[in-house]
Structure 1
Amino acid sequence: MGRNIAIGDIHGGLKALIQLLEKIEVTPSDKLIFLGDYVDGWSDSANVVSYLIDLAKQNTCIFLRGNHDDLTHRWLETGEFNKKWLQHGGQSSIDAYRDFSSEEIETHLRFYNQMLNYYIDKENRLFVHAGFTNQHGPEQEYHQTGFYWDRTLWEMALSMDGSISPNDTNYPKRFQIFDEIFIGHTPVTRINETTPIKRASVWNLDTGAAFKGKLSAMEVNTKEIWQSEPVYKFYPSEKGRN
């Protein structure tokens, strides 16, 4: 019986990803659920995508769409970009794709196009990069950008002090839909945490790989956690998104 492993935001840290998968000792029977943001940060952004494309030939992989993936995808497809994207890691992706052939870029575009906005498993667990806002669930979400930009789900989870029971009528409806929710997007290092943490029914696996943090993974059944070394140590001459 294979494991179900969720993996947090990578942000171009291919060397850390390789180390993490070695620590996990991934086998073909494992399902790997990537929570998005594969690019924008360290210099291996495009190489991360190439690596994931090859990995999916050997393993069952679920690739969720992150906001940085969407921004890089739009730039590759149409040339669209903005200054804020460049300031928050976009330049690293532009540089990373500079030596890629048109054929390689076409292969990557297929990868970006096939990403999922969210994934619900048989155990009624939701996997999504950022969140959702509709009280009736992600299927009813009006703007799909919320799946990879929303922060209100995590902000609400952080604001709950544990005094409200899930059976209480005032318990947030978004937290009643799924048994558990797994996200990335907002680094837990912002609240001085270094490992994946749970608030309400939400697990956040973004441990700041784009900055000074580690890349993290979790077996979603057992809650076993693996982490790489701090990603910046693999790229000592770079600044990442700092």
Structure 2
Amino acid sequence: MNRTLVIGDIHGGYKALLQVLDRANVTANDTLIFLGDYVDGWSESAQVVNLLLELKLKQKCIFLRGNHETLLVHWLRTKETNKLWEYNGGDASMKSYSQLSEIEVQKHLDFFDSLMNYYIDDKNRLFVHAGFTNPRGITDEHFEESLYWDRTLWELVMSMNANLFPDDILYPRRLKHHSEVYIGHTPVTHFGFTEPTNFANVWNIDTGAAFLGKISILDIDSKEFWQSDTVAAMYPDEEGRNHK
């Protein structure tokens, strides 16, 4: 069986990623689409990236860029302090990456440089970490940073009238360009959900792994999904991004 599986935000939760890949019975026949934010939060960001590099050798993988990768890369290259980033999971990544050799760090930097800002498959399904703002579509988006920082797309679809259809004059132009859109970045747990969540034609796969949620994998054709245990329970001596 050849499945296409989309994986939500991971945030250094290596143990939980291994668990959910096992629960989904992932094989080399599956195409894996990772939505970004592999790092920052729990203590095993470097281990997560090593696992992604291993998976890349075994099967087809699409790796998207998240905002947390851009923050980590900036620190790795400049060593400039960013207290807000450190508070939001960067401190754990700094500790994780301090254990790597220069050669290993460069290997990871090469991986981060290779990340895609978005991916569109042969069924016109869009995959992007955060969203986009341009009504003319993602290919006309003027601000690259929107692709891994935007939250307005998810806010838009959550607030839409459920009875609107694409041919309605009030239907948002942003949503008409693709059959489906898959995003992460904005945890659905912030809005009372615990599973991959769908509004209009947008699916959000970020189920709060950085906080008190889980890592999720969704089969984009069947919509069957699998989840890890709560990531925080696997790192009982850590706060993740759950600062007091």
TM over 0.5: yes
**Residue 121 (str. 1) matches residue 121 (str. 2):** yes
Q: Could you report, residue by residue, the CA deviation over 1:157-193 in whole angstroms, capped at 9, with x for unpaired residues?
A: 1110213222101100011110100000000011110
Matches within 5 A, 1:40-59: 40-59=40-59
**Residue 67 (str. 1) matches residue 67 (str. 2):** yes
Q: What amino acid sits opposite 1:171 in the alignment? A: Y
Which residue of structure 1 lines up, in the alignment, with residue 150 of structure 2?
A: 150
Which residue of structure 2 lines up, in the alignment, with residue 30 of structure 1?
A: 30
Unaligned 5+ runs, structure 1: none
Matches within 5 A, 1:172-191: 172-191=172-191
Which residue of structure 1 lines up, in the alignment, with residue 135 of structure 2?
A: 135
Relative to the length of structure 1, the TM-score reads 0.98
What is the deviation of 1:138? 1.2
Q: Could you report, residue by residue, the CA deviation over 1:73-117 in whole angstroms, capped at 9, with x for unpaired residues?
A: 111122234211111111110011111000000100000000000
Report how many aligned residue pairs link the two structures: 242
- Distance in 2, Cα, partners of 1:81 & 1:64: 25
- Distance in 2, Cα, partners of 1:24 & 1:81: 38
Unaligned 5+ runs, structure 2: none
Contact residue 24 and residue 226 of structure 1 kept, 8 A: yes
- Distance in 2, Cα, partners of 1:174 & 1:164: 14
- Distance in 2, Cα, partners of 1:233 & 1:200: 33
SS of the aligned residue for 1:136 comes to coil
Could you say if the C-alpha distance between residues 132 and 105 of structure 1 is closer, same or farther in structure 2, counting changes exceeding 3 Å?
A: same
Contact residue 131 and residue 154 of structure 1 kept, 8 A: yes
Which residue of structure 2 lines up, in the alignment, with residue 166 of structure 1?
A: 166
Q: What amino acid sits opposite 2:63 in the alignment? A: F
Q: What amino acid sits opposite 1:210 in the alignment? A: A
Cα RMSD for the two superposed structures: 0.9
Q: What amino acid sits opposite 1:168 in the alignment? A: D
Which residue of structure 1 lines up, in the alignment, with residue 235 of structure 2?
A: 235
Could you say if the C-alpha distance between residues 208 and 181 of structure 1 is closer, same or farther in structure 2, counting changes exceeding 3 Å?
A: same
Which residue of structure 1 lines up, in the alignment, with residue 196 of structure 2?
A: 196
SS of the aligned residue for 1:56 comes to helix
Which residue of structure 2 lines up, in the alignment, with residue 218 of structure 1?
A: 218
Q: What amino acid sits opposite 2:29 in the alignment? A: S
Contact residue 124 and residue 178 of structure 1 kept, 8 A: yes
Q: Could you report, residue by residue, the CA deviation over 1:118-176 in whole angstroms, capped at 9, with x for unpaired residues?
A: 00000100000000111111111111000000001001011102132221011000111
Contact residue 71 and residue 81 of structure 1 kept, 8 A: no
Which residue of structure 2 lines up, in the alignment, with residue 80 of structure 1?
A: 80
SS of the aligned residue for 2:147 comes to helix
SS of the aligned residue for 2:73 comes to helix
